[in-house]
A and B are shown apart, each in its own frame.
Chain A
Amino acid sequence: MHPISYLQGAILGALQGIAEPFPISSLGHGVVYPRLLGWNIHQNDDYFLAFLVATHVATAAVLLFMFLDDWKRIVRGLGRSLQAREIAPDDSDARLGWLLVVGTIPAGTIGLLLEHPLRSLFASSASAAAFLIVNGVLLLAFERLRRRPPRPGDYLGDSDARIAKLTWRQAFGVGTAQAAALIPGISRSGITMGSGLLFGLSNEDAARYSFLLATPIIGAAGVLKIPDLLGSAGNGVRGPALLGALCAALTTYVAVKFLLRFFQTNTLTPLGIYCIAFGVFCTLVFAL
């Protein structure tokens, strides 16, 4: 018997694909949904971690595919700057590339060192529900404290050039702040989008920056754990994991397309309200 059924795999995969780009914490939803649905699946079970590898790799692959042209330009920019031993002031591709590197290194470092202890400490669905409320409050606070209000036509023009105006310190700060997302319930994309707003980006630019920053982190985390899926922990879950990965790929694509349009005219506020409402709902259900 499979520890995760195909139906559960499809639902969890689809959920991961939606919740990863949305600033609502995929990990938090992955923890609370099995309990809400009465499934005997726990986030620290080896087979569930193996299952998540597949969905994360699928999510990262879709993000890479969707922004492939951007990544090609960014990699060429990185090459140009290495060759010249400097980042030309007008080379926004190179600067964006190095900003992503500077943002990825602290997130990867803290993630590798603290992922296991934090996951163990905040493993319960009740704590995930509580942190979903915290995440919602954070999203509302980011909108309240943003450097400038949204303006019509914010999304027009060269988004990458605007993102590339972030400073090195800001990029490092965003990368470090992402570590909070190791706690189930706190959203990585929420932290990066919110930080972008605090640093003067528009909602759409902040979302785009978040998606670009997500690709190497999620991809590397997934690829490094592929041995878990292929090893004994993956026994019995590879089929559901494959189906879950396909569902995650599909929903990630739809979610990213939707969010890039959504943030042209909307803010984080409705998503913050959703997190608070869903977190309160889960807390009440788990307490009864």
Chain B
Amino acid sequence: MTKNRKLIPWAIAAGVVLIVIAIIYWAEPAGSLPSFFPGHDAGSSHHHFKHGILAFILGVGCFIFAWFQTGPSSRAPAGS
């Protein structure tokens, strides 16, 4: 995997934003979500639990991506 350390802060920021979004999905009913959120439905008391899970997983994915970018540069396979 190609390493690009410049992406680390961006990936962390995206991860934080996505996890905040996940918490909003879990905490707020569809009617109280910001209107630009997928699943916003004025007056609805339904919680988009699965949307929250999705945002959380994507957030964790961003953190994992950032974690890999902090690793050593790629090396050739043994014996090659």
Contact = CB atoms under 8 A, between A and B. Distances in A.
Interface of A: 81-82, 84-90, 101, 105, 108-109, 112-113, 168, 224
Interface of B: 1, 38, 50-51, 53-54, 57-58, 61, 64, 67-68, 70-72, 74-78, 80
Given A84-B71, A85-B70, A113 B38 contact: yes
Given A109-B54, A224-B53, A89 B72 contact: no
Interface of A is mostly: helix
Given A87-B1, A105-B61, A82 B78 contact: no
15 contacts: A84-B72, A85-B67, A85-B68, A85-B71, A86-B68, A88-B77, A89-B76, A89-B80, A90-B77, A90-B78, A105-B58, A108-B54, A112-B50, A112-B54, A168-B1
A101 B60 CA distance: 12
A85 B63 CA distance: 12
B50 A86 contact: no
A86 B54 CA distance: 25
Contact of B64 (A82, A86, A90): A82
A19 B76 CA distance: 42
Smallest CB-CB A-B distances: 8 pairs? A85-B71, A89-B77, A86-B71, A90-B77, A112-B54, A112-B50, A224-B50, A85-B68
Contacts of A90: 77-78
A86 B57 contact: no
A82 B75 contact: no
